[in-house]
Amino acid sequence: MLWVILLLGAAGLGGGYAAERASIPKLQYRPGTPNEIVETCRQAAIAAARTHASEVGAELIRVDATSAGEMRRTRSGQRAPVEVGIVYSRSSGREARQGIVECRVDRRGQATIADLAGAAR
């Protein structure tokens, strides 16, 4: 009986480490958006994620981004699908958010994230 408890406790410790490692989102690259645009969009996502973190009392740990397909030209600039992965730290542990967002880049090169709430999964 004591061995079962020790084994379960050890498994829980290992699972905690695995859960922490699993909190890093795995992004799937899809060609179509240049790296420079992805980085511009990542910077916009960082700004939005920092604001969100301060509103909910979390700490922003990391923000990753990759191309999620072909960009489209619009009258005011370009729209780029970008997959974003965000990791926050809260008192209850780490929280990862991931999703594809629409990044709008105007003619001056300024980026805005159209739907960062979509990165909630």
Mean pLDDT of 4-8: 33
Structure tokens at 43: 């910077």
pLDDT more than 70, % of the chain: 76
Burial of 75 by CB count in 10 Å (0-12 exposed, 13-18 middle, 19+ buried)?
exposed
Can you spell out the DSSP letters for 46-80?
HHHHHHHHHHHT-EEEEEEEEEBS--EEETTEEEE
* pLDDT given for residue 95 in this prediction: 92
Q: What is the pLDDT of residues 60-117, one digit of tens each?
A: 999 999 999 999 999 999 999 999 999 999 998 999 999 999 999 999 999 999 754 4
Q: Which of 5-9, 23-27, 40-44 has the lowest mean pLDDT?
A: 5-9
pLDDT over 50 (residue 28): yes
Among all chains, which residue has been given the structure tokens 């105007």?
106
